[in-house]
Chains A and B, each alone.
Chain A
C-alpha cells in the first residue's frame, strides 16, 4: 500500500487507515435532478460521523447527478468524498478524463466498480460500454499515480495524480471459493481499500475473511465491512432479492417477529450489532454504512456502535 512517497498520503482516508484507525465511511445517493441543495445539507449532517463519504455513480443504472459533481459538493461542504466510477457508462477515454477533472477539483479517493447492468435502470435501451472492467480500471488509475502515465503509455502533463484507490467486493456472490482470489487480482491491480457488499450473514462473511487472511490480503488492502440498516421486514425481504445479497432466515424471522411500528428501530439495532460483530474479525479495518434513502440515521448508528466522535486530523 503506497501512495508514491512514504510520508505523503493521497487522502485523509488513507492517512487514517495507515495510522491504524478503525474507519467509518458512508454513502450518499445523489438526486435525480440538478439541485444539490438537499444533498449538501445531508453532507453537512453526516460529515462528523464518517471519515469519508461515497457518492454513488448512477447506482442501479438510474440517471442521477454525477458522482464527480457530487464529490465536489461534498468537498465544498467540508467533507471527504469517495468518487465512484462504474465501467458501464464510460470508456477509457472518458474515465481518464473524468479522473483528471475530479482530481483537479480536489477529489482524492476513487472506488472502481463494474456497475449494475443497465437493464436494472431507467434507460435499459442504452448502449453497453464496459470498455474496461473494474480490475482494469483499478490498474489504470494505479498507473496514472505510480507511473504518471495514461493507459496508452503517454505521460500525464504535470506529473502523476495521487489518488487513493478502492474497489468493491462481494463476499456473498458466487463462485464463493473464487471470491478471495478475485480480491487478490484487484489487489495485484492496485486496490488499496475495499468496501464490501452489505453484510447480514456475518458467519459467511467470517468465512470469506478467513480465505482473505489465508492469502495474506488483509495486510495488503484495507477491508471495510459494508452494513445496511433495514427499515422494515419488507425492506429486508426486498434486499434478499437483490443479486449478490445474502439475508439469513433467522434474521428475517427476527424482523418479522417485531411489530411494524418497532421494525425501524430493530433494523438499526441489527445494524449496530453487525458493526460490533464485524469489528471483532481480524483484518476488518472499518465499516461502510450504506443507509440509502435513510442517510439521516447514520449519526445514530455510528454513535450507538461506539464509533463517535471521529478522529480529527
Chain B
C-alpha cells in the first residue's frame, strides 16, 4: 500500500494562510491503514485547526468528510454536497488522491493542499512500522532475487550487488538499512538458487519506470 505521514501542523497552517472556510477530506484506504489520513486523523486535524483558530481569535469553519478512495473520481464525487462556501480543501489522501480531488474542486475555485507527505509503496513489518518495498519500476524482477527487490531496497539500486560498502549485513548508508544484496544472497542460498547470482545482470530499462515519463495503463477490455 501507499504509506504516508501527516504533515506537521505548522506547515499546514502556513499553507492555509488566512483562509477561514476549510474542508478536510480524508481517505479510508491506504492512508487510513497507516493512520495518516483516515477518518480519525481527519477529526484530529479538524480539532487542531479549530483550537488554533480560537487561540488566535480567528474565525474558522471546518467541514470534514472521509472519502472511500480519493484516487477514484466516482468516490471523489461524494464531496459535492460539502463544497459550498469552501475556500481551501486539505486532502489527507496520498499524492494521487490530492490530485484527483484538486481536479474535481477546480471548477469551484477551491484551493487544494496536501495534509500528508506521501512516502512510499510498502507494508507493515510490525505494528506501527512500515517499510518501503516497491519502487514501481514497471518491470518486476522479483523472481530473480528471491522475492527481495534490489531496485528499491538497495540504496544504489544495484542489480549486481552488493557493493563494497556492505558490512555485517548492513547498508553503508545506515545501520537501520539491511543490505538488500545480503538479504538476496541469504534468501537465494536458502532456496538453493545461488545460480541466479552468477551471471552479470544487464542494464535495466528505466523507461518502464518513472524515468520514461508519467505512465498509463489502458485495459481495452475494460474501457467503456
Contacts and interface: CB of A to CB of B under 8 A. Distances in A.
A175 B185 contact: yes
Contacts of A219: none
Interface string A113-146: 0111101100000001011111110011000000
Given A115-B156, A131-B206, A178-B162, 20 more contacts: A114-B163, A114-B164, A116-B165, A117-B172, A120-B172, A128-B155, A130-B157, A132-B203, A133-B158, A136-B159, A136-B160, A140-B203, A168-B164, A173-B163, A173-B164, A174-B168, A175-B185, A181-B197, A243-B165, A243-B167
A226 to B, nearest CB: 11
Contacts of A136: 159-160, 200-203
Interface stretch (A157-165, A184-192, A252-260, A274-282): A184-192
A151 interface: yes
Contacts of B167: 172-174, 243-244
Contact of B179 (A119, A130, A174, A184): A174
Given A117-B172, A119-B173, A130-B158, A189 B166 contact: no
A174 B164 contact: no
Interface in A168-218: 168-170, 172-175, 178, 181-182, 184-186, 188-189, 197
Contact of B164 (A88, A135, A139, A170): A170
A87 interface: yes
Contact of A244 (B155, B172, B204): B172
Contacts of B161: 133
B172 A243 contact: yes
A92 B203 contact: yes
A120 B163 CA distance: 15
Main secondary structure of the interface of B (DSSP, over half): loop
Interface of B: 155-169, 172-174, 179, 182, 185-186, 197-204, 206
Contacts of B162: 173-175, 178, 182
A239 B157 CA distance: 26
B172 to A, nearest CB: 4
A241 B183 CA distance: 22
Contact of A174 (B174, B182, B199, B204): B182
B172 A139 contact: no
15 contacts: A119-B173, A128-B155, A128-B156, A133-B156, A136-B201, A136-B203, A139-B200, A172-B167, A173-B165, A174-B162, A174-B169, A175-B186, A178-B185, A182-B162, A186-B200
Q: Select the residue from A88, A92, A114, A139 with max chain B CB neighbours within 10 A.
A: A114
Interface residues on chain A, size class? 35 or more
B200 A182 contact: no
A169 B164 contact: yes
Contacts of A132: 203
Q: Select the residue from B156, B201, B202 with max chain A CB neighbours within 10 A.
A: B156
Interface of A: 87-88, 92, 114-117, 119-120, 128, 130-136, 139-140, 151, 168-170, 172-175, 178, 181-182, 184-186, 188-189, 197, 243-244
Contacts of A178: 162, 185, 197
Given A117-B155, A130-B157, A185 B166 contact: no
Contacts of A181: 197-198
A197 B164 CA distance: 8
**A-B interface, 4 closest residue pairs, ranked by CB to CB distance from nearest:** A170-B164, A135-B160, A243-B172, A243-B165
B195 to A, nearest CB: 11
Contact of A185 (B155, B173, B179, B198): B198
Q: Select the residue from A87, A189, A197, A243 with max chain B CB neighbours within 10 A.
A: A243
Contacts of B155: 117, 128
A244 B173 contact: no
B175 to A, nearest CB: 10
B219 to A, nearest CB: 30
A136 B150 CA distance: 15
Contact of A133 (B160, B165, B166, B198): B160
A135 to B, nearest CB: 4
Contacts of A172: 167
Contacts of A173: 162-167
B158 A244 contact: no
A244 B203 contact: no
A243 B204 CA distance: 27
Contacts of A135: 159-160, 200-201
Contact of B199 (A117, A188, A243): A188
Contacts of A169: 164
Contact of A182 (B160, B169, B174, B179): B160
Contact of A151 (B159, B163, B172, B203): B203
